Amino acid sequence: MTLKDIAEEAGVSAVTVSNVINGNHNKVSADTIEKVEKIILKYNYRPNATARSLAMKESKIIGFIIPYVDESENFLRSPYNAEILGVLERYIRKKGYYLMVRSVKSCVDIIALFATWNVDGIIFLGAFKDEVKEIKKRMQLPLVFLDTYLDELEITNVGADDFKGGYLAAKYLMARGHKNIAFVGPDINKQGVIYERYKGFKVAMEESKQEIRPERIFYSNTSYDDGIEVGKKIAFSSENITAIVSMSDILALGSMEGLRLSGKKVPDDISIVGFDNLPECRYSNPQLTTISQNILLKAEKAAEYLFKMIETKEEIIVNDRVDVEIIERQSVKTL
């Protein structure tokens, strides 16, 4: 049974059958779709994806790269990764495409990998400057980057207003009487989202004439367990810390647990603001106040830019920063 055979039995063209198979239902009537699908089910027809890909010069596959993941690491343990992945998969599925996910230690690792895979475009969840240049030089297909910072704009990038996020978090806490504020997150000495958030935090503190002491900066990997350890350190710190700005919700939630295990209550003893606005913020006790970077909009914008490049076959150069906002819940006390 071939596509042509199905078309003859249904009394329609091969193009119509192809539209039904590929989900282009806006081009076919409901009665025709039902008729073609019944014939496909009757003969258990399965189109040859590889042959169709070669004939159409497209694979209907979008690659999604999650970098800086060790071989033993489960990248879906990160709620942020899972949230982004879920939004992208839904959007790409609605377009009639398939999502192929790959975690790598370094973004450049995928150059050799995709030399043997036919994909129509790739979305990267973050990448460093040198990697972007190498990828752009070696890969001639639509590429979109998430949360990437470059001195010279030469890519399609979608991110959040990270500077504003750090600024808002500090301003929010200071407006509620907090002065001894701890900053919790990964290394701030590298260009990227954390550095931008720290810059916003620093500007807000300086505007209010508040001191940023090195003893109030706590470096940590972005995980719940690492957050627990940070929470314990802050609980026994001699800095009289009354509030924490965390660079991710998962770190904030871990820090809350570390504080609890150390006999401290949130927000009675120490207040905390997260960053991301993940669904988990509503499940904690107390519920976590956080900076929303609108993950849904950010992921959908990345997919929109990618499909626009696929459809128009033209490169887009843009640095699109999604706005952020404070989401008030229960983890901050007014002094």
Q: What is the pLDDT of residues 177-236, one digit of tens each?
A: 999 999 999 988 777 899 999 999 999 999 999 989 999 999 999 899 999 999 999 999
Which amino acid makes up residue 96?
A: G
Model confidence band, residue 56 (pLDDT cutoffs 50, 70, 90): very low
Given 3-state DSSP classes, what are the helix, strand and coil percentages for the chain, each rounded to the nearest 5?
A: 45, 15, 35
Higher pLDDT, 245 or 120: 245
pLDDT at 116: 58
Cα–Cα distance measured from residue 149 to residue 250, given in angstroms and rounded to the nearest whole number: 23
Predicted confidence band of residue 23 (pLDDT cuts 50, 70, 90): low
Token pair belonging to 177: 């009487």
Average pLDDT over residues 59-83: 83
Angle subtended at Cα 44 by Cα 41 and Cα 47, rounded to the nearest 5 degrees: 105
Q: Of 281, 289, 68, 271, give the one whose Cα is nearest residue 165.
A: 289
How many Cβ atoms sit within 10 Å of the Cβ of residue 197? 30
Q: Which residue carries 């959040």 as its tokens?
A: 160
> Percent of the chain at pLDDT above 70?
93
The candidate with the shortest Cα–Cα distance to 273, out of 235, 307, 244, 311, is: 244
Question: How does pLDDT run across 295-335, given as a tens digit for each residue?
Answer: 999 999 999 999 999 999 998 999 999 999 999 999 999 99
In the predicted model, is pLDDT for residue 1 greater than 90? no
The answer, yes or no, to whether the previous bond of 67 is cis (omega within 30 of 0) is no
- Does this model's pTM top 0.85? My answer is no
Which domains, and CATH codes, for the chain? 3-47 (1.10.260.40), 61-160+296-322 (3.40.50.2300), 162-293 (3.40.50.2300)
